[in-house]
């Protein structure tokens, strides 16, 4: 990795000095063979976006379209290819451009853990996990000891300088030995953020969250009921053509568990969410001319269940289950200045998955462990008829509307996933890992049912106009992994090589629809714009391969080093010779950590190389390398009070992350369609008190 700035030189000097002075490991990401769990108790981030924590896990990164719209990326796959659950709930975004991705409904202060399944996810974890799986778990409080009643709580407040932001939340827990109650509330707000050279406009945000939970246990039975209300107000998304005006989400779930004798466990889960979303291109950013004002009002209803039975025996465990998830989307576009203008973007676009899975983990003696899994998914999609003012006035749009409405929009797929993984112990401290899988994913509703050339593309943020393809085939990925896990008295290291060949990868390719092309060109002439000819979601072949590793070296009782290395390459596996879009560049992270009974301190160096393997189809720009230094100091005054202070981007470097998208809003400091800069030097503080 070529290092351009003094940041890494300063980091290296500090690391070397500390290593000579003393030799404690503080792995922020605690590891098992096949998962990485980010320990929220020890991790502090200034960002309101919980997705940013993913950067602490090997192979993971974040596509950032705004301050609270981080979309998970893992080994080059992102969006709906990565299964994300919140306390067991699946959630499909209300926004057709994923302004409210699943992790945006998670509150950092309530988060107990963020688990990333490394590489191939078990079939029992998620219905569609072609790109991996992420599991967020929030804290519900503990049951009291027999015969006791307790009242506990915790509050957290934070400030950061780069956008004059604040965060304040509190939780209250009341419990007996058989019941527990949780009440929680959060509010946060930030202004437009600074970068070296100006401000990122618009990047302000405001959000509130309220939660109520109740738990009951009796003997071997337990029941957990939860309700959450998310209220997001004005929030900028400068990499997208519109900004958030509101996101209101009502999330609810019921979970039952039975712990029987002889290793029997039964889990039943019901969940749902009702999400409302409004976005505009005029209320936060500089508004276009009145005829081009646009407001998109969207809604999503999500319903799901999961029932599984786990039977544990002397050699391993069986897991048999059935699960289902249904999402229903509506999206309407209007112009407040023109009551006659409308576009029915998506009309009751439905997607329903019903799955059945069987999984076995087995120990073949002391040295060999294996996991095999089989899953069958029935995926059905449908959408209602569409219309819009353009289709009533412009022949190309009329042709697109009529073709869509006359098509057989009801589609179904029968998908099968297979997983086989094995671990062989080479010694007491090292093991060899081998994994193989056949994973599938059916198209998202945008990919099938986007009828008019628009940017409603699930957050791709490439600035291109797309239409869907009702006849898309499911993606089929054949995956291989090879790894080594070593854990000695001082050194822990876990490298992985991976390869995925994806048949029928869903990718935008130049549209062959004369009506779609003519419509975009006519709109360019009418509005004075210069949009490129549209793309259409189509099936191509692709491959992703690379290497990632996390490691930790315990230098002494107080000092440790740890780090990450990530490399992924994504290519079209056809005659195009093109690269896949928005693939994270190679990166490395190095941390030096000190901890005593009351204090801990950390210096972190983060470096990304340039990314010149970009997608010509998506008009993707290359990006430069950059290096950052971050500092963090924690003081545990006692068991109740913790104070954290830190500085991100200590040297106030200007840099444009490859996954940060392009500027889509008028800004005197950043030109249109240029790569968006990230924030400059950011001093932050957090205080946490629990009783």
Beta-carbon contacts of residue 667 (< 8 Å; ≥ 6 apart): 198, 199, 200, 201, 238
CA distances (Å), origin 644, targets 29, 159, 297 = 19, 11, 40
Residue 156 banded pLDDT, cuts 50, 70, 90: very high
Placement of tokens 């307790």 in the chain: 150
Residue 685 lies in a domain: yes
pLDDT of residue 302: 98
Dist CA 372 CA 420 (whole Å) = 4
Tell me how far the alpha carbon of residue 149 is from its chain's centroid: 38
Residue 293 banded pLDDT, cuts 50, 70, 90: very high
Q: How many domains does the chain have?
A: 1
Q: 40: closest CA among 129, 101, 106?
A: 106
Is the CB of residue 189 less than 8 Å from the CB of residue 206?
A: yes
Residue 406: which region, alpha, beta or left (left: phi > 0; alpha: psi -120 to 50)? alpha
pLDDT at 29 over 60: no
Residue 417 is encoded by which pair of tokens? 């996933």
Please name the residue ranges forming H helices in 328-469.
389-393, 395-406, 445-449
Residue 2 banded pLDDT, cuts 50, 70, 90: very low
pLDDT of residue 42: 62
Dist CA 41 CA 21 (whole Å) = 28
Dist CA 451 CA 390 (whole Å) = 12
User: Which H, E and C letters describe 561-603, residue by residue?
Assistant: EEEEEEEEEEEECCCCCCECCCCCCCEEEEEEEEECCCEEEEE
pLDDT of residue 233: 98
Query: Could you report the per-residue pLDDT of 612-621, keeping only the tens digit for each?
Result: 999 999 999 9
Query: Could you report the per-residue pLDDT of 547-584, keeping only the tens digit for each?
Result: 999 999 999 999 999 999 999 999 999 989 999 999 99
Dist CA 277 CA 299 (whole Å) = 6
Residue 35 lies in a domain: yes
pLDDT at 8 over 80: no
pLDDT of residue 41: 60
Placement of tokens 């466990």 in the chain: 265
Beta-carbon contacts of residue 334 (< 8 Å; ≥ 6 apart): 294, 295, 297, 341, 342, 343
Element (H, E) at 409: none
Residue 459 lies in a domain: yes
Residue 41 is encoded by which pair of tokens? 């108790």
Dist CA 412 CA 380 (whole Å) = 4
Residue 12, beta-bridge partner list? none
Give me the domain span that covers residue 125: 7-690
CATH number at residue 582: 2.40.170.20
Is the CB of residue 604 less than 8 Å from the CB of residue 561?
A: no
CA distances (Å), origin 527, targets 513, 521, 543 = 22, 10, 39
Residue 1 lies in a domain: no
Over range 472-490, report the average pLDDT.
97
Residue 211 is encoded by which pair of tokens? 């939660």
Is the CB of residue 29 less than 8 Å from the CB of residue 39?
A: yes
Dist CA 291 CA 279 (whole Å) = 17
The beta-strand segments (E) located in 365-429 are 368-382, 411-425
Q: 260: closest CA among 221, 207, 205?
A: 221
Q: Are strands 89-90 and 111-117 parallel, antiparallel or unpaired?
A: unpaired
**Buried residues in 241-255 as b, exposed as e (16+ CB within 10 A):** bbbbbebbbebbbeb
Determine what percent of the chain is predicted with pLDDT higher than 70. 95
Dist CA 683 CA 691 (whole Å) = 28
Q: 311: closest CA among 355, 360, 363?
A: 360
Residue 22 banded pLDDT, cuts 50, 70, 90: very low
Residue 437 lies in a domain: yes
* DSSP summary character for residue 472: P
Residue 497, beta-bridge partner list? 482, 547
Residue 579 burial class via C-beta count within 10 angstroms: exposed 0-12, middle 13-18, buried 19 and up? buried
Query: Could you report the per-residue pLDDT of 357-391, keeping only the tens digit for each?
Result: 999 999 999 999 999 999 999 999 999 999 999 99
**Buried residues in 90-111 as b, exposed as e (16+ CB within 10 A):** bbbbbbbbbbbbbbbbbbbbbb
For the chain, the first-to-last Cα distance in angstroms comes to 47
Q: 453: closest CA among 331, 537, 525, 384?
A: 537
Dist CA 49 CA 66 (whole Å) = 9
Dist CA 659 CA 647 (whole Å) = 22
Residue 184 lies in a domain: yes
Is the CB of residue 442 less than 8 Å from the CB of residue 352?
A: no
Query: Could you report the per-residue pLDDT of 414-469, keeping only the tens digit for each?
Result: 999 999 999 999 999 999 999 999 999 999 999 999 999 999 999 999 999 999 99
Placement of tokens 């990164």 in the chain: 61
Q: Are strands 535-554 and 466-467 parallel, antiparallel or unpaired?
A: parallel
pLDDT of residue 400: 98
Element (H, E) at 85: strand 83-86
Dist CA 550 CA 36 (whole Å) = 10
Element (H, E) at 234: none
Residue 2 lies in a domain: no
Is the CB of residue 417 less than 8 Å from the CB of residue 437?
A: yes
Dist CA 43 CA 28 (whole Å) = 6
Residue 618 is encoded by which pair of tokens? 């998506």
Is the CB of residue 89 less than 8 Å from the CB of residue 225?
A: no
**Buried residues in 31-58 as b, exposed as e (16+ CB within 10 A):** beebbbbbebebbbbbbbbbbbbbbbbb
* DSSP summary character for residue 452: S
Total number of residues shown for the chain: 691
Residue 605 is encoded by which pair of tokens? 């160096």
pLDDT of residue 108: 83
Query: Could you report the per-residue pLDDT of 95-124, keeping only the tens digit for each?
Result: 999 999 999 999 888 898 899 999 999 999
The beta-strand segments (E) located in 426-462 are 430-441
Residue 20 lies in a domain: yes
Determine what percent of the chain is predicted with pLDDT higher than 90. 91
Long-range contacts of 403-409 (CB under 8 A, 24+ apart): 403/515, 404/449, 404/451, 404/470, 407/470, 408/470, 409/381, 409/382, 409/383, 409/449, 409/470
> Going edge to edge, which strands form the sheet with 111-117?
29-31, 35-39, 111-117, 133-138, 83-86, 89-90
Beta-carbon contacts of residue 681 (< 8 Å; ≥ 6 apart): 161, 162, 647, 648, 649, 650, 651, 652
Q: What are phi and psi of 273, to 5 degrees?
A: -155, 145
Q: Mean pLDDT in the chain?
A: 94
CA distances (Å), origin 117, targets 104, 126, 133, 201, 373 = 19, 11, 6, 35, 15
Over range 179-202, report the average pLDDT.
98
């Amino acid at each position: 990795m070529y290092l351009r700035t003094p940041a890494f030189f300063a980091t290296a000097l500090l690391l070397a000095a500390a290593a000579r002075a003393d030799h404690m490991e503080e792995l922020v990401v605690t590891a098992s063979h096949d998962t990485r769990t980010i320990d929220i108790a020890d991790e502090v981030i200034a960002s309101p976006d919980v997705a940013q924590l993913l950067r602490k896990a090997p192979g993971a990164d974040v596509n950032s379209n705004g301050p609270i719209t981080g979309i998970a990326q893992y080994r080059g796959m992102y969006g709906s290819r990565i299964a994300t659950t919140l306390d067991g709930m699946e959630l499909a975004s209300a926004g057709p451009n994923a302004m409210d991705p699943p992790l945006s409904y998670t509150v950092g202060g309530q988060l107990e853990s963020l688990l990333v399944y490394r590489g191939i996810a078990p079939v029992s974890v998620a219905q569609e996990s072609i790109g991996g799986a992420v599991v967020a778990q929030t804290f519900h409080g503990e049951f009291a000891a027999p015969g006791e009643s307790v009242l506990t709580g915790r509050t957290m407040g934070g400030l950061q300088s780069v956008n004059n932001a604040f965060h304040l939340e509190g939780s209250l827990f009341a419990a007996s030995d058989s019941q527990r109650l949780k009440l929680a509330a959060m509010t946060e707000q930030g202004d437009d953020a600074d970068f070296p050279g100006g401000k990122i406009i618009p990047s302000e945000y405001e959000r509130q969250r309220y939660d109520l939970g109740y738990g009951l246990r009796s003997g071997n039975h337990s029941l957990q009921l939860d309700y959450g209300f998310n209220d997001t107000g004005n929030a900028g998304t400068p990499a997208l053509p519109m900004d958030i005006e509101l996101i209101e989400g009502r999330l609810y779930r019921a979970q039952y568990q039975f712990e029987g004798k002889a290793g029997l466990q039964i889990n039943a889960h019901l969940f749902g969410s009702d999400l409302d979303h409004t976005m505009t291109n005029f209320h936060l950013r500089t508004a276009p001319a009145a005829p081009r004002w646009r407001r998109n009002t969207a809604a999503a209803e999500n319903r799901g269940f999961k029932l599984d039975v786990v039977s544990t025996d002397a050699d391993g465990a069986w897991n048999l289950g059935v699960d289902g998830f249904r999402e229903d989307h509506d999206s309407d576009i209007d112009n407040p200045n023109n009551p006659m203008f409308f576009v029915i973007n998506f009309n009751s676009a439905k997607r329903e998955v019903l799955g059945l899975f069987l999984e076995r983990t087995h120990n073949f003696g002391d040295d060999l462990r294996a996991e095999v899994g089989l899953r069958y998914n029935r995926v059905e999609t449908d959408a209602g008829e569409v219309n819009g003012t353009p289709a009533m006035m412009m022949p190309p749009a009329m042709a697109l509307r009529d073709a869509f409405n006359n098509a057989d929009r009801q589609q179904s797929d029968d998908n099968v996933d297979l997983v086989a993984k094995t671990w062989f112990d080479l010694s007491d401290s090292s093991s060899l890992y081998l994994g193989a899988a056949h994973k599938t994913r059916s198209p998202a509703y945008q990919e099938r049912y986007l009828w008019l050339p628009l940017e409603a593309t699930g957050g791709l943020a490439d600035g291109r106009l797309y239409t869907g393809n009702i006849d898309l085939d499911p993606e089929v990925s054949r995956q291989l992994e090879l790894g080594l896990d070593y854990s000695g008295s001082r050194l822990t290291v876990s490298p992985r090589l991976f390869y995925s060949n994806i048949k029928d990868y869903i990718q935008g390719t130049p549209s062959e629809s004369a009506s779609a092309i003519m419509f975009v060109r006519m709109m360019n002439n009418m509005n004075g714009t210069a949009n490129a000819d549209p793309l259409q979601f189509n099936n191509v072949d692709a491959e992703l391969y690379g290497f990632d590793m996390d490691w930790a070296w315990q230098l002494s009782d107080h000092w440790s080093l740890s780090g990450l290395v990530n490399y992924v390459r994504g290519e079209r596996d056809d005659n195009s010779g093109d690269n896949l879009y928005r693939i994270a560049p190679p990166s490395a992270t190095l941390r030096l950590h000190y901890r005593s009974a009351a204090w801990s301190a950390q210096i972190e160096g983060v470096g990304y190389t340039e990314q010149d393997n970009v997608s010509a189809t998506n008009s993707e720009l290359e990006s430069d390398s950059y290096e950052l230094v971050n500092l963090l100091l924690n003081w545990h005054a006692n068991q109740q009070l913790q104070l954290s202070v830190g500085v991100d981007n200590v040297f106030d470097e200007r840099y444009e992350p490859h996954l940060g998208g392009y500027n889509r809003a008028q800004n005197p400091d950043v030109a249109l369609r240029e790569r968006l800069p990230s924030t400059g030097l950011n001093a932050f503080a957090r205080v946490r008190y629990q009783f």
